[in-house]
Amino acid sequence: MKTLQYQPKHAFASNVIVFGFFLFVAQVGTYFYREVGTSPAMIMAPAGIAIAAVILEGPGVWPAIALASIANGLLNGTPLFLVFAAAAGNTLQPLAAFFFLRKAGLRRKLATVKDMFLILGTSLFLTAIVPTVNAGAIKIYNHLFQGARPAYWTSWWLSGALSALILTPFLIRWVRYPLTRRTPAKTFEIILALLALTVLSYFLFATPHVAVGGFSIIYPLMAVLLWIAFRTDSRVMTLSLLLMTAISLGGALYGNYVPAPGGLNVRIFNTQVFDFILAAIFFMLVSVEEQRKQAIEDMQDRTKKLEAALERIRQNDEAKSEFIATLAHEMRNPLATFMSSVELMLLGQGQDPAETKRLAGMMQSRIQTMKRMLDDLLDVSRVARREMEIKKEPVSLLQIVRQAVTLVESFIQSRQQAFSISMPLEDITLFADPVRIEQILVNLLTNASKYTPEKGRISLAGIREEDWLCLKVSDTGIGIPPDMIDRIFEPFVRVKHDSGMASGIGIGLALTKDLVEMHGGTVTVRSDAGGSEFTVRLPIEMPPAIGAEPAQKILPQQRLPAEGLDVVVVDDNKEAARSMGKLLSLRGHRTALLHDGHSVLDYLASARPDVILLDVGLPDLDGYEVARRIKARGNSPALVALTGYGQAEDILTAHQAGFDHHLTKPVGLAEVEEVLKQIRPPA
Interface ranges with ligand ADP (CB under 6 A): 447-448, 451, 475, 477-480, 488, 494-495, 503-510, 532
Cβ proximity of 510 and 380 under 8 Å: yes
Closest separation between CB of residue 450 and ligand ADP, Å? 6
Closest separation between CB of residue 395 and ligand ADP, Å? 24
Give the total residue count for the chain. 683
419: β partners? 458
Closest separation between CB of residue 526 and ligand ADP, Å? 11
Closest separation between CB of residue 398 and ligand ADP, Å? 23
Q: State which residue, 207 or 503, has the beta carbon closest to ligand ADP.
A: 503
Collect all residues with Cβ–Cβ distance below 8 Å to 65 and sequence separation of at least 6.
18, 19, 22, 50, 53, 90, 91, 94
Taking the C-alpha atoms of residue 617 and residue 623, their distance in angstroms, rounded to an integer, is 6
Task: Please give the order of strands across the beta sheet that includes 418-422.
Answer: 418-422, 457-465, 468-475, 531-539, 522-528
Closest separation between CB of residue 493 and ligand ADP, Å? 6
Taking the C-alpha atoms of residue 53 and residue 98, their distance in angstroms, rounded to an integer, is 10
Closest separation between CB of residue 496 and ligand ADP, Å? 8
Q: State which residue, 178 or 500, has the beta carbon closest to ligand ADP.
A: 500
Collect all residues with Cβ–Cβ distance below 8 Å to 600 and sequence separation of at least 6.
568, 570, 594, 612, 614, 626, 630
Closest separation between CB of residue 445 and ligand ADP, Å? 9
Q: State which residue, 204 or 373, has the beta carbon closest to ligand ADP.
A: 373
Q: State which residue, 236 or 488, has the beta carbon closest to ligand ADP.
A: 488
Taking the C-alpha atoms of residue 417 and residue 419, their distance in angstroms, rounded to an integer, is 6
469: β partners? 464, 538
Taking the C-alpha atoms of residue 66 and residue 133, their distance in angstroms, rounded to an integer, is 14
Q: State which residue, 10 or 332, has the beta carbon closest to ligand ADP.
A: 332
Q: What is the DSSP string of 385-399?
A: TT------EEEEHHH
Q: State which residue, 9 or 329, has the beta carbon closest to ligand ADP.
A: 329
Q: State which residue, 71 or 319, has the beta carbon closest to ligand ADP.
A: 319
Q: State which residue, 327 or 400, has the beta carbon closest to ligand ADP.
A: 327
Residue number closest to ligand ADP, CB atom: 504
Closest separation between CB of residue 461 and ligand ADP, Å? 15
Q: State which residue, 436 or 494, has the beta carbon closest to ligand ADP.
A: 494
Q: State which residue, 505 or 667, has the beta carbon closest to ligand ADP.
A: 505
Q: State which residue, 322 or 622, has the beta carbon closest to ligand ADP.
A: 322
Closest separation between CB of residue 538 and ligand ADP, Å? 19
Longest dimension (CA), the chain: 133
Taking the C-alpha atoms of residue 196 and residue 192, their distance in angstroms, rounded to an integer, is 6
Write down the H helix ranges in 37-152. Answer: 45-57, 62-75, 80-104, 113-125, 129-145
Q: Is it true that the peptide bond before 666 is cis, omega within 30 degrees of 0?
A: yes
111 alpha carbon, distance to own chain's centre: 25
CA-atom Rg of the chain in angstroms: 42
What value, to the nearest 5°, has the Cα angle with vertex 41 and ends 39 and 45?
Answer: 145
Collect all residues with Cβ–Cβ distance below 8 Å to 357 and sequence separation of at least 6.
none
Taking the C-alpha atoms of residue 66 and residue 64, their distance in angstroms, rounded to an integer, is 6
649 alpha carbon, distance to own chain's centre: 30
Closest separation between CB of residue 239 and ligand ADP, Å? 58
Closest separation between CB of residue 190 and ligand ADP, Å? 55
411 alpha carbon, distance to own chain's centre: 41
Q: State which residue, 338 or 451, has the beta carbon closest to ligand ADP.
A: 451
Task: Please give the order of strands across the beta sheet that includes 638-643.
Answer: 590-594, 566-570, 611-615, 638-643, 661-664
Q: State which residue, 124 or 518, has the beta carbon closest to ligand ADP.
A: 518
Closest separation between CB of residue 389 and ligand ADP, Å? 22
Closest separation between CB of residue 644 and ligand ADP, Å? 23
Cβ proximity of 326 and 506 under 8 Å: yes
Q: What is the DSSP string of 567-632?
A: EEEE-SSHHHHHHHHHHHHHTT-EEEEE-SHHHHHHHHHH---SEEEEES--SSS-HHHHHHHHHH
Q: State which residue, 225 or 442, has the beta carbon closest to ligand ADP.
A: 442
Closest separation between CB of residue 505 and ligand ADP, Å? 5
